[in-house]
Structure 1
Amino acid sequence: MRMTRPVRLAAVVVAAGALLTAGAAAAADDRAGHGGDQAAFDRILELQQEAWAEEDGAAFAATFHEDGDMVTFNGDHMAGREDIAEGMQYYFDGFIEGSRIHILAEQVRYVESDVVVIVRESCLINEGESDCRADSLSTNTNVMTRERGEWLQTSFQNTRRFSF
């Protein structure tokens, strides 16, 4: 698994931070103006959840553009669909088997008509459990871009949330 930090990831994180300060009213306006896209975003999330349930790294990576990148809950950086598939399979096989993703909240922000930042609060629920554990809470920043009419993830960063 390669551990690289492309410049565009830093730019995306800075842009995402700036966008998040815009407030909930802007998110409501964005969703109202681009409602047809929400179904595509929901479908990508559904595909990720299915891949997670099947513990299939390649299927999870298929929700990304070929040159997409991902920063995991633990801070590992995977660059490119092949690296994401390999890295996620490693996690599925050894660390997160038998878990599922649970979404607690979502905010969608349009940067441009074909660039969206989606921030989700989520957790993992282990097999046999019914609720989120405090140590599995995270905030995901998803950058989606539309190319040739298809939305896919360009970048995904999952940040652990701590309770003090």
Structure 2
Amino acid sequence: MTQSHPYDAQISALYHQFIDGWNRRSGAAVAAGFADDGDIIGFDGSHHRGRLSIAADLRQVFGSHQTPAYVGVVRSVRPMAEGVAVLLAHAGMIPAGSSDFDPDLHTVHTLVAVDEGGGRWRISLFQSTPAGWHQHPEAREALTQELRGLLAPQ
């Protein structure tokens, strides 16, 4: 069992703010949760460094591509050191014009958060790693079903 983090709620909120900004296709909203020198490594391996660069680069991406929407599930938030925590999440993507997930776009999100003082958490690193689970198709299908359940009418 992993230890929970005393700032679970704040760190999870950073993740959900990231997802919300992405789904609104706003580079500024995505970048808002990052530390000044934060890094983002995308699903395709692209790397952007610094909050201002992240905002500008994603503004360009959103303006030139129909990016899929994310739906994510936080799996854990745990302390790494004083003022440092790591969040792990699984996410699926719904391509533009579709209403269902493309299992080939499932991903593991890793978010490293740092406390900039007074419980003000910022993203130091966000990485999206493709989650093909080629040796475990049942895990991929289970995630697809779990994510579809999150889309069910309330």
The TM tier, using the shorter chain, reads 0.7 to 0.9
SS at match of 2:98: coil
- Report the Cα distance in structure 2 between the residues aligned to 1:139 and 1:90, rounded to whole angstroms: 24
Which among 112, 124, 139 is matched to residue 143 of structure 1?
112
- Preserved CA contact (<8 Å) 2:19 2:72: no
SS at match of 2:14: helix
Which among 79, 90, 107 is matched to residue 110 of structure 1?
79
Aligned-pair distance for 1:105? 4.6
Q: Could you say which residue in structure 2 is the equivalent of 1:101?
A: 70
- Report the Cα distance in structure 2 between the residues aligned to 1:105 and 1:46, rounded to whole angstroms: 9
- Report the Cα distance in structure 2 between the residues aligned to 1:157 and 1:57, rounded to whole angstroms: 16
CA RMSD of aligned residues (A): 1.8
SS at match of 2:28: helix
Q: Could you say which residue in structure 1 is the equivalent of 2:26?
A: 56
Instruction: List gaps (5 residues or longer) in structure 1.
Output: 1-24
Deviates more, 1:118-127 or 1:57-66: 118-127
Aligned-pair distance for 1:87? 1.9
- Preserved CA contact (<8 Å) 1:142 1:157: yes
- Report the Cα distance in structure 2 between the residues aligned to 1:74 and 1:94, rounded to whole angstroms: 16
TM-score, length of structure 2 as denominator length: 0.77
Which among 42, 47, 60 is matched to residue 90 of structure 1?
60
Q: Could you say which residue in structure 2 is the equivalent of 1:18?
A: none
CA offset digits 1:73-100 (Å, max 9, x no partner): 1111111011111221222222244x42
Aligned residues with identical type, % of pairs: 27
Aligned-pair distance for 1:137? 0.6
The equivalences for 1:18-33 within 5 A come to 25=1, 27=2, 30-31=3-4
- Preserved CA contact (<8 Å) 1:134 1:163: no
Instruction: List gaps (5 residues or longer) in structure 2.
Output: 135-154
Does 1:42 pair with 2:12? yes
- Report the Cα distance in structure 1 between the residues aligned to 2:44 and 2:96, rounded to whole angstroms: 21
Deviates more, 1:76-85 or 1:49-58: 49-58
TM-score, length of structure 1 as denominator length: 0.72
Aligned length: 133
- Preserved CA contact (<8 Å) 2:66 2:96: no
